Amino acid sequence: MTRILTVTLLFLMSGLRAATAQQDPGVWVQVEAQPSLREAQDRAQAYANSLPDVNGFRMNSGWYAIVLGPYLRGDAEQVLRVYRAEGQIPSDSFIAFSNTLGQQFWPVGANVLNRGAVAPPVESEVQSEQNLTEVQPESADETRSEALQNERLLTAQERKDLQTALQAAGFYNSTIDGAFGQGTRRSMGDWQRFTGYEPTGVLTTLQRQALMDEYNAPLISVGMARYSDDKAGIAMDMPLGAIEFDQHKAPFAHFQSSTDLGAKALLISQDGNKSTLRALYDVMQSLEIVPLNGPRELKGDRFTLEGRGNGIVSYTQAKLLNGQIKGFTLVWPEGDDDRRIRVLAAMASSFETTEAVLDAAAGADVEQRIDLVSGLQVRKPRLSRSGFFADANGTVLTVSEAADSCARITLDGDQEVEVAWTDANLGVSVLRPRQTLAPISVAEFSADRPRIQSEVAVSGYSYQGALGAPTLTYGKIADIRGLNGEEGIKRLALSAQPGDAGGPVFNDSGNVVGMLLPTPSEGRTLPDSVSLSASVERLTDILTQAGVSGQSGQETAQISPNELNRRAAGMTVLVNCWD
């Protein structure tokens, strides 16, 4: 009789499972996300070579997700466990839901979003035949009366958490108040029906756990756990499955990525006052981990910084309290906003401090470099070239390569400018400051035609700002035409650096006779002593096109090197192109 019962139960469970799979749209195991379609197609093909049920969808965030499935929830969790253990998918893979997925791109022409769950490719966790005789109907979990009784033991926060989880799953759209009224009961019943449970409108203990596990899947996937740093005096929940402690280097505790997710974090801890807080606010914005685009606010005793770009999204918060500044930074890859938002919220809500503060000497023995601040890379411009003021309002002449495809253009690191005019043939651009500037000195253009073999000097940031001031490089005019006899270009006998391009060319009277152009890169290598310069005539024509009038200079006797250096320093600017 027992044997017959066992076989009958197996048959019924198998039939029920098949029927449920046909109705249930299922969930997915997300293994990867890529920013471009080409990268995502390549990765999907790589997974499809070794795994079944590989699909690819465009996400609501604009990234492209590679997923496995769809499977019933229990099957998906088993697939996730087995494939993680076998190393076939990344350790930070997680359960995803159809409402995050858009148009399918892999396999080409497929559309499986609404086809229903499929059989899992790994062995399901079904009780062995020896234990099947002990299988109880699901109602043995808890009766409705027992579920209501246990529900009364929940705290107010636990009740709100359940409503939040139902809302995140798409079943609840009312107030998060912890009151289980008619709307909450209806949403519980809808969730039970969708998940395959009897729709009683009251969640059993196991069902509440399943709902919260589903809601917390993004946190579980990155190993959210409590972390305490006694040296920094900070305790909080952190994604310890994706990051690991690296070093203390005041005022930061550094956490580096431990997976291919690429997440990073900082704990901020230092003694200070409002001036210290302001200085930290300014320094943080100069770091690579805080991209330029994003809201930021310094207000009273606290600040927040958000940066988005270059493949990452970062968030920083810090607060001054009792002479101590405490806070944290989270750096996360772009395109994974759902998980990032959950992780960030969990970190912020769990943040606690003690009286300890990180020793200001912590990490003093770690590598020191001019482009590092407390172990963090300072943001660098993509390209730096020279330029010079062409009028009293701060209009700047420079080479076009210094302003080409830049997200932001600045002078000397902080003054923002925009392109007013470009001469693509000559490779010269006119930059207009967003706010009117007051230059120390302005270019005075020579009205005389320069003579061959006359001495000249170029003022430029030869080392792209490393020295903090322009340098003068001396040479002579070798020809009043270009290498191919072009008008409007002069050839100089002068050894220049790439950073000098865009700098003014002076004659011995201190007047500007041209602007240094970049070395041609048309497959030829010129001698080091050969440079090219745009003529004054071409430069003044370009300024006129931009609505700017250049200032003519009076030829005088030869000025001293000190006077030339003074004029050059007040006129020459470092032009930075930022991504």
Query: Which contiguous run of DSSP H or E holds residue 520?
Result: none
Residue 269 near residue 234 (C-beta atoms within 8 A): yes
What sign does the dihedral 508-509-510-515 (CA atoms) show?
A: negative
Among 41-45, 76-80, 394-398, the least confident range: 76-80
* pLDDT above 60 (res 377): yes
Q: Give the CATH fold of the 383-578 domain.
A: Thrombin, subunit H (2.40.10)
Question: What are the domain boundaries of the chain?
Answer: 23-123, 139-219, 222-377, 383-578
pLDDT value at residue 371 = 44
pLDDT value at residue 126 = 45
Strand locations in 72-158 (E):
94-96, 101-106
* pLDDT above 80 (res 413): no
* pLDDT above 60 (res 1): no
* pLDDT above 90 (res 221): no
* pLDDT above 90 (res 492): yes
**Single-letter amino acid code for the residue at 556:** T
* pLDDT above 70 (res 172): yes
Among 51-55, 308-312, 376-380, 441-445, the least confident range: 376-380
* pLDDT above 80 (res 140): no
pLDDT value at residue 517 = 94
Grade residue 231 by pLDDT with cuts at 50, 70 and 90: very high
Q: Give the CATH fold of the 222-377 domain.
A: Protein Transport Mog1p; Chain A (3.40.1000)
pLDDT value at residue 375 = 63
Grade residue 138 by pLDDT with cuts at 50, 70 and 90: very low
What's the mean pLDDT in 173-187? 92
Residues ≥6 apart with Cβ < 8 Å to 318: 268, 277, 280, 281, 302, 303, 325, 326, 327
Grade residue 298 by pLDDT with cuts at 50, 70 and 90: very high
pLDDT digits (tens, 9 = 90+) for 513-562: 999 999 876 666 778 888 999 999 999 999 999 999 888 888 778 889 89
Residues ≥6 apart with Cβ < 8 Å to 67: 28, 29, 30, 31, 54, 55, 56, 57, 96, 101
pLDDT value at residue 23 = 54
pLDDT value at residue 407 = 83
Helix (H, G, I), strand (E, B) or coil at 300: coil
Of 17 and 23, which is predicted with more confidence?
A: 23
Q: Around 436, how many Cα atoms within 13 Å sit in the side-chain half-sphere?
A: 4
Among 53-57, 95-99, 327-331, 511-515, the least confident range: 95-99
Tokens of 517: 């152009």
* pLDDT above 80 (res 367): no
64 forms beta bridges with 34, 58
pLDDT digits (tens, 9 = 90+) for 458-472: 999 988 776 778 999
What's the mean pLDDT in 133-154? 71
- Measured between alpha carbons, how far is 513 from 349 in angstroms, rounded to an integer? 63
pLDDT digits (tens, 9 = 90+) for 237-249: 999 999 999 999 9
Tokens of 153: 């033991």
* pLDDT above 70 (res 132): no
pLDDT value at residue 131 = 39
What's the mean pLDDT in 167-192? 92
Tokens of 109: 């022409």
126 forms beta bridges with none
Among 60-64, 478-482, 560-564, the least confident range: 60-64
Grade residue 137 by pLDDT with cuts at 50, 70 and 90: very low
- What mean pLDDT is reported for the chain? 85
pLDDT value at residue 3 = 35
What's the mean pLDDT in 440-454? 90
Phi, psi of 253 (to 5 degrees): -105, 120
Strand locations in 278-401 (E):
296-299, 302-309, 312-321, 324-333, 352-353, 372-373, 376-377, 383-389, 396-399
pLDDT value at residue 8 = 36
| Domains 222-377 and 383-578 are alike in CATH topology | no
What's the mean pLDDT in 444-458? 90
Grade residue 365 by pLDDT with cuts at 50, 70 and 90: low
Q: Around 492, how many Cα atoms within 13 Å sit in the side-chain half-sphere?
A: 31
